[in-house]
Structure formats: structure tokens, C-alpha cells
Amino acid sequence: MSASTTRHPAFVAAILCAWLPVGTLAQDPDAQNAASKTRWSAEVGVGGEYDTNVSVDEVDLSSGQSDYAAIIDLELGLKHEFSERTEVSVNYDVSKSTYQEFSEVDRLTHILGADLNSDLGSSNASLSVYYIDSRLDGDAFLKYTRISPSLSGFLSRRWFSRGAYVYSEREIDNRSQRNAETQTGELDLYYFHRGLRSYFNLGYRYRDEDAIADELDFDAHSLKLRYIRRFTAGERKIKAEAALRYEVRDYRFDEPTIGEPRKDDRFRVKFDLEIPLTQKVYWQWYLSYGDYVSNLPRADFTQTILGTRLQYSW
């Protein structure tokens, strides 16, 4: 059945908060004597990237042509510790991508998010709420709300696990048939080979998307494998990451343009490198390749992105 997008995501957040341990502060005997701590942070980044196939994934559009983009972003963060066991963080991020040729996909994105974390002793519970507003070429394009409770903890000295439920709503301006509600279950396992210096992350995700248009409803199964390695080169502590992601999407109803249900296989690989230049300045490089296979011709394409970014944090 087609989705009927909820207009009150804050109400959903309130329901989720009710069963999370947000009362830890009141129940913690040390909370009254603990000194509250508030920390501010900020980050600004400038960079550029080369894209072999400029596309807009949310509406299944790809140009088949390459272009260069300049990117600038700013992030502000606040973290407050209510007690030794409970903290909340609030973040605001704004980013702008400007293309050399395809100005119609110049994107301005605002992200406002909050995370509540509580230490339960043998595990950690958290609730995250994010709202995204994105514009294309100055016009309204995407509104996205995401609410996710999660539970995580160590299984042993080297093994760590995290489970999460994600509820999200998406609204696309002038394309209401693509408005959708999505429910997702996520499970991640981490193996710390040498602590944070070298570790693996294996993850599985099940996603159920219910859109206004029946032909856009789908179930998806995803697997990811990441390897993160920190090493020293001279006096610099460099961080490298390699990631593989594979997703299968099965659509439930016939796509009118092809006369059968759509089916997608999506394979992506990405490499990231972060090099500290000073204590506050980092130089980042990234390379990604995506092979998107679909029986819907406009969603069948490949894409390679190469980018670099300078980041200053304080």
C-alpha cells in the first residue's frame, strides 16, 4: 500500500524517548554532585571533487556526463554531560556543492541533529534525531527526518556490537509520489585487531520503504565491510579506510515504464585517507566507485568520484 507521510515526527521521537533511559540523571545518585560539562566545537572544510557521472540519486536521474564541483561546509557542535553516564550532543551542518557545468544540481544542504547517550554499565543506549533540508539550484528539493534508537556494547575484549532501529520520512518537492516512510533494522559487529589503530566493521541492514507511488515500494538487504587503519608516517598519524557495500533492492509492484517490478543490485567501494598537517588542520582524500545494476534503464549506470578536502577543527 502507498505511504501516507506523517507530519509530526517529533511525536514519534517522544514515544521513543519514553522507553529510553533518559531518566538516568534523576536516578543516578552521583548526578546531583557531578559538575555539568559543556563543550563546543566547530569545523570548516573546503575542497573539490571530480564526478564521472553527475546524478541525483533521490529521483533516479543520472546525466552520463562528468563534471567538477567545489565544496564548502561548516559544522557547529555542542556536547553537554549531565552526569558521568548521560550526555547529549547537538550538531548543525551546512554544506554547498557548486558544479562547473551542471549548475542545476548545485546543492545546499542544512542538517540539524541531536544525540542522547546513556551508559547502562555493560551497554550503551542512545537516541538520535536528525532533520535535513536540501535545495537544488536554489529551489526546494528534499526534506528528510530520521529517528533512531540504538543499543551497543562489548561482547568481549575485542568484539563490539551495535543494533539500531531507524524510522525516516522523506518529502521531495514537486515529486510527491516519491514521498516515503522507511523502517530499517541495522546490526553491526566490530573486531578491534589493535584497538582503534586497526579494526574491522561488518554490518547488515534490512530496509522497508513505503512510498506514495506503489511502484516505488521496495525491500532491501545490504551488507558492508569496512577496515580502518591508523599508522605513523614520520611524525604524522595517518588514518586510512577501505569500505565495500552491496545492496539488493526488490520492488513490490510493476514499474509502468518497463512492465515489471524493478530490481536493483548496487555495489560500492570507497577509499579514504586523512593526513594531519597540524593539530587542527587535516588533508583528506577519497575515491569511490559505484556499479548500479537495474532493469530500469535510467537507474543502470556506473560512477566514479575522486575528491580532496582541507579541514580545520577547533
Domain harbouring 169, CATH code: 2.40.160.40
- Residue 28 falls inside a structural domain: no
**Whole-angstrom distance, CA of residue 24 vs CA of residue 3:** 36
- Residue 304 falls inside a structural domain: yes
Give buried/exposed letters for 281-310 (b at 16+ CB in 10 A, else e): ebbbebebebebebebeebebebebebbbe
Give the mean model confidence (pLDDT) for residues 37-44. Answer: 95
Q: pLDDT tens across 87-131, in order?
A: 999 999 999 999 999 999 999 999 999 999 999 988 999 999 999
Contacts of 128 (CB under 8 A, 6+ apart): 113, 114, 115, 116, 146, 147, 148, 150
Q: With contact defined as beta carbons under 8 Å apart, do 180 and 147 qualify?
A: no
CA atoms within 13 A on the CB side of 80: 8
If one counts the domains in the chain, the total is 1
Residue with cell 555493560: 122
Domain that holds residue 60: 9-23+36-313
Closest among 226, 256, 245 to 292, alpha carbons compared: 245
pTM of the model: 0.86
Report which secondary-structure segment, H or E, holds 124.
Answer: strand 124-136
Q: How buried is 116 (Cβ within 10 angstroms: 0-12 exposed, 13-18 middle, 19+ buried)?
A: buried
Bridge partner list, 127: 116, 149
- Residue 191 falls inside a structural domain: yes
Closest among 263, 272, 264, 269 to 303, alpha carbons compared: 269
More confident residue, 18 or 179: 179
Q: pLDDT tens across 65-84, in order?
A: 999 999 999 999 999 999 98
Is residue 36 very low, low, confident or very high in pLDDT (cuts 50, 70, 90)?
Answer: low
| pLDDT reported for residue 1 | 52
Q: pLDDT tens across 207-222, in order?
A: 999 999 999 999 999 9
Q: With contact defined as beta carbons under 8 Å apart, do 167 and 142 qualify?
A: no
- Residue 156 falls inside a structural domain: yes
Across the chain, mean pLDDT equals 90
- Residue 31 falls inside a structural domain: no
**Whole-angstrom distance, CA of residue 7 vs CA of residue 11:** 9
- Residue 116 falls inside a structural domain: yes
